[in-house]
Amino acid sequence: MKSFEDVIDFHGHICPGLALGYRVSVCALKELIGERASDEELVAIVENNSCAIDAVQIITGCTFGKGNLIFNDYGKQVYTFIKRSSGNSIRISVNWESPKETKEEKYMWNRYIKGDHSNEVLEVVHSKKSDKVNIILNANEDELLKVTKGKMDLPEKAKIYPSLRCSICWEKVMKPKTKVKNGNILCYPCFEKDN
């Protein structure tokens, strides 16, 4: 299995979101397929598009390109995995509360958000971040994650549609992703610009 270091390599930095995604993915693999995970076995449905998803892609092998990573834009720290062969599923909801910030940390964080990247500020922000990462990586699974097992139908496979030409930009676009305006076929970006 890939390690947390592999995940950091791919993502480009270390952060609490990445650590959460890592814990979620390790839990899903352990519960659904054990150590020897093969890329094609799982389908992941993720409900956010945060840093965590990079960990999901590296650890579980579910990726957008392969079509076994589905993104529902619900803004929730919820991850569902389905094993193709059995239909067994696991829904993992992150139940973690980050530790309360001290007054000083809040003050530094505010300065950071406003663009103050002085050493004084960075030191506090970075040490807070790495504290969080350590807490997440070492937390008990049952305190960190709420896990529900069940059975689920696989989501429909992505269909292949014919391509049409947008009558404004002339780029090719899948038929179900077109709009018709005054009898012309438009892609979404052109339709929105033209409105």
**Could you list the residues that contact Zn ion (CB under 5 A)?**
15, 51, 166, 168-169, 187, 190
Nearer to Zn ion, 89 or 178 (CB): 178
Nearer to Zn ion, 56 or 190 (CB): 190
151: amino acid identity, one letter: K
Nearer to Zn ion, 147 or 168 (CB): 168
Q: Kindly state the smallest distance separating residue 111's Cβ from Zn ion, in Å.
A: 20
Q: Kindly state the smallest distance separating residue 67's Cβ from Zn ion, in Å.
A: 24
Q: Kindly state the smallest distance separating residue 188's Cβ from Zn ion, in Å.
A: 8
DSSP, res 35:
S
Cβ atoms within 10 Å of 136's Cβ, excluding its own: 20
CB distance 125 to 115 below 8 Å: no
Q: How far apart are CA 157 and CA 122, in angstroms?
A: 45
Q: Kindly state the smallest distance separating residue 16's Cβ from Zn ion, in Å.
A: 8
CA angle 16, 19, 20 (to 5 degrees): 90
Helix (H) or strand (E) holding 185: strand 184-187
Nearer to Zn ion, 33 or 186 (CB): 186
